A and B are shown apart, each in its own frame.
Chain A
Amino acid sequence: MKRRDFLKNTIVAIAGASVPLSALEFIDPQEVLAANPDIHWAFLINTHTCVGCGFCVKACKTENDIPFEANVSRTWVERYVFTKDDRRYIDSPKAALYGFTDSKVDLGEHLGFKDIEPENVGKAFFVPKLCNHCEAPACTQVCPVGATYKTDDGIVLIDRSWCIGCGYCVMACPFGARFFHPVHNVVDKCTFCYHRITKDLETACVNACPFGARKMCNIRDINDPITKIILNDRVGVLKDEFGTKPQAFYIGLATEVR
């Protein structure tokens, strides 16, 4: 082969290889329509109105049979306290099951509690958290037995009879939403109360919130008032950089919240 031919062939080969496969795919309008079903559930959390009462955690644990004494929860509320001497304290005692009934911040098992002077508090707020039911969930992708999956209406569920408890999904979830159920001994997590939303009821936590900090909507229905807020207001998601496309949207999200 001559040098000229070699260079020519190389250029052609590189040009050919750089055309992405998707560019050669023809879009079938029926496929696009099928990929756009009528229901896709999304969650909206307003961190401005949350007062940290923890009624949502209590309702969730009751509705979904998660033992109160076990230190695991499908949803939890975090408290963020920023002091004027530029320190940050974050805690969620017992997942806020009994609310925040002490101004002392729980530092962890061996560190005890930190008493913060009221005049030293710069800003403080509460952030409710739960499974984000991501559009591209890392947890269902790593499951080796097909026990966790995404339904067509956008909910990530776990098949309790197929889960082998390997814990890959617990590690894969960037949000720490998964845990081992102490009674069933398989992985468990928020289901957006699938048994309630499929019967046109609100989830247990949305139902329990007195302040309207938690809302749910069908994000495909553009006439839904909550969908309008997500579309028109300035909302954010947690850990966008992981690329899992979370479906829980937050109003008033601070950069310190992860």
Chain B
Amino acid sequence: MKSHVWRPLYVVIAIIAGLLLFREFYVPDTFGSGEYGFMYSYHNLENQEVWKNQPLKYQDTGKQKMHEYCGECHGDVVDIRTEDLHGIIPCENCHGPALEHPDEPELLVVNRERGVCLRCHTLLPYTTSERKRIPGINPNEHNVDEACVDCHDPHNPRLEDM
């Protein structure tokens, strides 16, 4: 073949070789792929530990655990709640994430805004949804400018106990 073919070809080969060499030094040794192979999981294997070590904020107070964590100290309040109605709501939904409570923070800020209650208790006319089981109000008509917790006890929301 003539030199006008070889010359640019040498350049291309040199560039590819250079890239491969650069890659060899630049990519850390910790790179590899797991079971899903090169196509789906070529990555820095150490990064999985980074995600595993993210800090926890919420403690385990979900529906399955039923406020075990909070019940150790606040048992009296938890007892009222776990009977029915609001007992299904994890404490941290309204009181915020427990973090390291009671060490840090010592006190959790209680959110008294109407918005917390309105998440479920806004009247939406959806008879085909589970929403129909929840009593609802129109936030623009029902005691506007007043906090729900001034009249209703969120831990025991039964109207006859009000």
Residue numbers of A with Cβ under 8 A of B are: 34-35, 37, 48-55, 58-59, 62-64, 81, 98-103, 118-119, 121, 123-126, 136-137, 140-141, 146-152, 157, 159-162, 191, 194-196, 198-199, 201-202, 204, 206-212
Selected from A62, A118, A125, A140, the residue in CB contact (under 8 A) with B41 is A140
A101 and B119 contacting across the interface, CB-CB below 8 Å = yes
The complex places the Cα of A118 from the Cα of B124 at a distance, in Å, of 8
Kindly provide the distance from the CB of B87 to the nearest chain A CB, expressed in whole angstroms.
9
A62 and B58 contacting across the interface, CB-CB below 8 Å = yes
Q: Which 3 A-B pairs have the closest CB atoms?
A: A99-B119, A118-B125, A149-B43
Count how many chain B residues have C-beta atoms less than 8 Å from C-beta atoms of the other chain: 50
A residues near B10, Cβ cutoff 8 Å? none
Kindly provide the distance from the CB of B94 to the nearest chain A CB, expressed in whole angstroms.
9
Q: List 28 A-B contacts (CB under 8 A).
A: A48-B130, A51-B130, A55-B89, A55-B119, A62-B57, A63-B57, A101-B118, A101-B139, A103-B123, A121-B125, A124-B125, A126-B129, A137-B40, A140-B39, A147-B43, A149-B40, A150-B34, A151-B34, A151-B41, A151-B48, A152-B41, A157-B47, A162-B44, A195-B54, A199-B56, A202-B64, A207-B61, A207-B90
Let me know if B82 is at the binding interface, CB within 8 A.
no
Selected from A123, A152, A160, A161, the residue in CB contact (under 8 A) with B128 is A123
B residues near A198, Cβ cutoff 8 Å? 52
B120 and A159 contacting across the interface, CB-CB below 8 Å = no
Q: Is the interface of A mostly helix, strand, loop or mixed?
A: loop
The complex places the Cα of A179 from the Cα of B77 at a distance, in Å, of 40
Let me know if B88 is at the binding interface, CB within 8 A.
yes
Let me know if B3 is at the binding interface, CB within 8 A.
no
Chain B 36-70 interface mask (CB, 8 Å, partner A; 1/0) = 10011111100110111111111011111000000
The complex places the Cα of A123 from the Cα of B96 at a distance, in Å, of 33
A191 and B41 contacting across the interface, CB-CB below 8 Å = no
Let me know if B17 is at the binding interface, CB within 8 A.
no
Chain B 90-121 interface mask (CB, 8 Å, partner A; 1/0) = 10110011000000000000000001001110
A residues near B43, Cβ cutoff 8 Å? 146-149, 157, 159, 162
A212 and B63 contacting across the interface, CB-CB below 8 Å = yes
A residues near B126, Cβ cutoff 8 Å? 81, 121, 123-125
Chain A residue at minimal CB-CB distance from B126: A124
Let me know if B141 is at the binding interface, CB within 8 A.
no
Within 8 A of A (CB), among B120-150: 120, 122-131, 134, 139
Let me know if B29 is at the binding interface, CB within 8 A.
no
B residues near A194, Cβ cutoff 8 Å? 48, 51-52, 54
A100 and B41 contacting across the interface, CB-CB below 8 Å = no
Kindly provide the distance from the CB of A220 to the nearest chain B CB, expressed in whole angstroms.
13
B56 and A98 contacting across the interface, CB-CB below 8 Å = no
Other A-B contacts than A150-B40, A195-B54, A210-B89, 5 sampled, CB-CB below 8 A, are: A63-B57, A123-B126, A141-B39, A151-B41, A202-B60
